[in-house]
C-alpha cells in the first residue's frame, strides 16, 4: 500500500513521509500516546484513540468472507476454546475483538508475537492460536487445523466484510494536511494496484521469508477496492464491529466515526 510513498514514486509537494515498520499491536499501543502523525491501527483500537485521531477513508484492510483464523492441533468446539488458553497477537487487535464476539465471552488468552503463534501452538504450549497475517494461509504446513474462520463467521452474522485495519491521522494537524495526506495514501494504494509486481517485490523485502506466491495471495486478500475507498459498505462494517464490540460507548455516540474527506 505504501510502496509509492516509501520510494518517492509520487509527488507529495511540501509533505514528506517517513515509513516506520512495526506490527499492528505495537502501532495500536503507539497510537495511544499519539506518537505518529498518521498510522495504521486495528479498527478495534480506534475507540481508545478516537479523541486524538480521525479516520481515513482509504488504507483499510477488510476480510470479505474470510479473516483471522483460530487454529489448533485438533478440532475444538467453542466451549472448549473458552476452557483453554489461546495464543493471540494482541488484545488491541480486531482479530481478538472478533474472537470475543464469536465466543460470546472473553477467553483465557496470552499475547504472543504474531509470527510465533503457529510454532507455539504446534509445540503444545497453547491449546489454540489466533492467526493474522500470512499465517492464515500457512498453518496447515505445521500440522494444525482450522477451528474457526472469523471473517466467514462475521459475514454469516452480518452480511458485511470484517474490518480489521484502518489508517488514521492526528486531529491536531491542519485540515489541509489531513486532506493531502489522505489523498497521497489513496494515490499510493492505487499505484500499487496498478503496478502489482513491482509493489510486491518491494513488500517481499519485509516478508519474513514468505514464498512469493503466498505473499501475492495474502496481499490480494486484503488490498482491494475497500482499501482504495471504504465506501458505504466498508463504513457500515466498521460501525457494526465497534457497535457490537463496544456497546456502551457506541450507544451514547462517544465513538466519533468521522472521516477525512478526500477532494
Q: Which residues are catalytic?
A: 133
Residue 168 in contact with residue 38, Cβ under 8 Å?
yes
Distance CA 151, CA 148 (A): 9
Residue 188 in contact with residue 8, Cβ under 8 Å?
no
Residue 142: C-alpha distances to residues 56, 88, 119, 148 (Å):
37, 17, 8, 17
Residue 137 in contact with residue 216, Cβ under 8 Å?
no
Is the four-CA dihedral 232, 238, 239, 240 of positive or negative sign?
Answer: positive
CA dihedral (17, 21, 26, 28) in degrees, to 10, reads 40
Amino acid at each position: 500500500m505504501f510502496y509509492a510513498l516509501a520510494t518517492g514514486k509520487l509527488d507529495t509537494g511540501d509533505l514528506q513521509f517517513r515509513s516506520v515498520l512495526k506490527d499492528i499491536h505495537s502501532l495500536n499501543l503507539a497510537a495511544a500516546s499519539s506518537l505518529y502523525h498518521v498510522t495504521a491501527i486495528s479498527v478495534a483500537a480506534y475507540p481508545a484513540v478516537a479523541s486524538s485521531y480521525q479516520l481515513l477513508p482509504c488504507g483499510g484492510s477488510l476480510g470479505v468472507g474470510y479473516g483471522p483464523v483460530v487454529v489448533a492441533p485438533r478440532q475444538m468446539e467453542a466451549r472448549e476454546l473458552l476452557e483453554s488458553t489461546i495464543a493471540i497477537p494482541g488484545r488491541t487487535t480486531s482479530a481478538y475483538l472478533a474472537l470475543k464476539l464469536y465466543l460470546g465471552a472473553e477467553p483465557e488468552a496470552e499475547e504472543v508475537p504474531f509470527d510465533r503463534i503457529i510454532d507455539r501452538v504446534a509445540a503444545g504450549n497453547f491449546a489454540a492460536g489466533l492467526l493474522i497475517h500470512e499465517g492464515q494461509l500457512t498453518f496447515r504446513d505445521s500440522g494444525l487445523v482450522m477451528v474457526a474462520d472469523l471473517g466467514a463467521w462475521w459475514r454469516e452474522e452480518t452480511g458485511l466484510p470484517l474490518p480489521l485495519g484502518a489508517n488514521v491521522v492526528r486531529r491536531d494537524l491542519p485540515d489541509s494536511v489531513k486532506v493531502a495526506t489522505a489523498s497521497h495514501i489513496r494515490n499510493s494504494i492505487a499505484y500499487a494496484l496498478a503496478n502489482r509486481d513491482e509493489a510486491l517485490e518491494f513488500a517481499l523485502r519485509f516478508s519474513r521469508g514468505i514464498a512469493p506466491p503466498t505473499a501475492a495471495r495474502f496481499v490480494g486478500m486484503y488490498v482491494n477496492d475497500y482499501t482504495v475507498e471504504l465506501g458505504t459498505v466498508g463504513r457500515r462494517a466498521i460501525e457494526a464491529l465497534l457497535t457490537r464490540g463496544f456497546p456502551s460507548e457506541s450507544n451514547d455516540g462517544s465513538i466519533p466515526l468521522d472521516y477525512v474527506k478526500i477532494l
